[in-house]
């Protein structure tokens, strides 16, 4: 920064890098944090721990795993069990060497004074750690998850303070997790959903979507709803993208695949009978 006559207190990101950071969180991390919070020792108000993950090439921080670190908090002092932190880090690195420290988390809504000290500690481990707060107290009536990076406030050359700046957070789920999302929501599920039930649920969702679209189109045509050209264009594109198969062609397509599947079914049923036969041969043979 060019020297000027008056020193100016600089808010805001001092470099382009901090303004572009976003964070992606896997739900596993939230689960882990909630579980640790539920299991915390009685006198602790909040739990603190390390976040593991990686930094993607486009600058987003991908938070994939976490573990809690025991700590003690007094009025303005914080004591973190550093040895535990390093041991756990080593163990985790043994399993997955790509997951490195990317930051730390704490439960509770805001950022407190103690957090700054802990953040400094993590700054020594990783250049720009991300601080994640998970509000387990539901103070705002909802569970807020926020991520911060620390930005240095400097007055000229002097470091004044570090400001925690919020960065956009994205909750991300991989395919398999989404499959089980419904069962992760409730407090108890009696059995895992099978293929059939999962398919059913999906079909119903698809149908509701189609129903909504149908209703919307109806309303627009009759003049109840405001016509929106872009939506209309998207809809017509979607409809046009359905493959235009003549009935005989569609017929043949369905029948062919049906026949293949029936053949496989037949083969596998034969195999099963063969199995029971083999079993009989194996154990029932009597030698005089």
**Is there binding between residue 174 and other proteins (CB under 8 A)?**
yes
Rg over CA atoms, the chain: 29
Residues 88-117 as x/- pattern, contact with other proteins by CB under 8 A: x--x--xxx---------------------
**Is there binding between residue 55 and other proteins (CB under 8 A)?**
no
Q: The tokens of 61 are what?
A: 């921080």
**Is there binding between residue 139 and other proteins (CB under 8 A)?**
no
**Is there binding between residue 82 and other proteins (CB under 8 A)?**
no
Nearer Cβ to other proteins, position 132 or 151? 132
Binding residue for other proteins (CB under 8 A) from 38, 57, 77, 241?
38
Task: Say if residues 107 and 96 touch (Cβ distance below 8 Å).
Answer: no
**Is there binding between residue 140 and other proteins (CB under 8 A)?**
no
Task: Say if residues 23 and 167 touch (Cβ distance below 8 Å).
Answer: yes
**Is there binding between residue 241 and other proteins (CB under 8 A)?**
no
Question: Among candidates 66, 261, 60, 240, which has minimal Cα distance to 168?
Answer: 60
For the chain, how long is the longest CA-to-CA vector? 110
All residues at 6 or more sequence positions from 138 whose CB lies less than 8 Å from its CB, including other chains: none
Q: Residue ranges of the alpha helices (H) in 96-180?
A: 113-125, 175-179
Helix (H, G, I), strand (E, B) or coil at 44: coil
| 60-68, 118-126, 146-154, 158-166 -> range binding other proteins (CB under 8 A) | 60-68
For residue 47, report the phi and psi dihedrals to the nearest 5 degrees: -115, 150
**Is there binding between residue 229 and other proteins (CB under 8 A)?**
no
| 8-16, 52-60, 156-164, 195-203 -> range binding other proteins (CB under 8 A) | 195-203
Binding residue for other proteins (CB under 8 A) from 190, 222, 229, 237?
190
Binding residue for other proteins (CB under 8 A) from 1, 3, 176, 226?
176
| 7-15, 55-63, 224-232, 278-286 -> range binding other proteins (CB under 8 A) | 278-286
CA distance 104 to 130: 6
**Is there binding between residue 209 and other proteins (CB under 8 A)?**
yes
């Amino acid at each position: 920064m060019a020297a000027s006559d008056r020193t100016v207190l600089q808010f805001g990101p001092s470099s382009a890098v901090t303004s572009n950071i976003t964070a992606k969180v896997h739900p596993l991390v939230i689960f882990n944090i909630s579980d640790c919070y539920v299991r915390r020792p009685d006198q602790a108000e909040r739990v603190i721990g390390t976040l593991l993950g990686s930094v993607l090439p486009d600058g987003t921080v991908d938070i994939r795993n976490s573990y809690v670190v025991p700590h003690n908090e007094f009025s303005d002092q914080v004591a973190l069990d550093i040895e535990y932190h390093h041991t756990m880090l080593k163990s985790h690195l043994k399993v997955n060497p790509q997951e490195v420290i990317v930051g730390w988390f704490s439960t509770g809504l805001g950022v407190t004074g103690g957090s700054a000290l802990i953040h400094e500690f993590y700054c020594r481990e990783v250049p720009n750690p991300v601080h994640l707060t998970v509000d387990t107290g539901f103070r705002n009536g909802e569970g807020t998850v926020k991520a911060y990076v620390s930005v240095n406030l400097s007055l000229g050359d002097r470091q004044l303070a570090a400001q925690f700046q919020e960065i956009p957070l994205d909750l991300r789920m991989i395919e398999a997790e989404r499959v089980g999302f419904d069962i992760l929501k409730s407090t108890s599920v009696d059995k895992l959903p099978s293929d059939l039930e999962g398919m059913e649920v999906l079909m119903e969702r698809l149908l509701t979507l189609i129903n909504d679209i149908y209703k919307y189109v109806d309303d627009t045509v009759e003049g109840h709803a405001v016509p929106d050209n872009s939506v209309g264009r998207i809809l017509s594109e979607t409809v046009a993208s359905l493959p235009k198969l003549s009935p005989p062609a569609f017929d043949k397509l369905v029948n062919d695949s049906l026949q293949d599947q029936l053949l496989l079914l037949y083969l596998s049923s034969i195999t099963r009978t063969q199995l029971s036969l083999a079993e009989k041969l194996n154990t029932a043979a009597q030698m005089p």
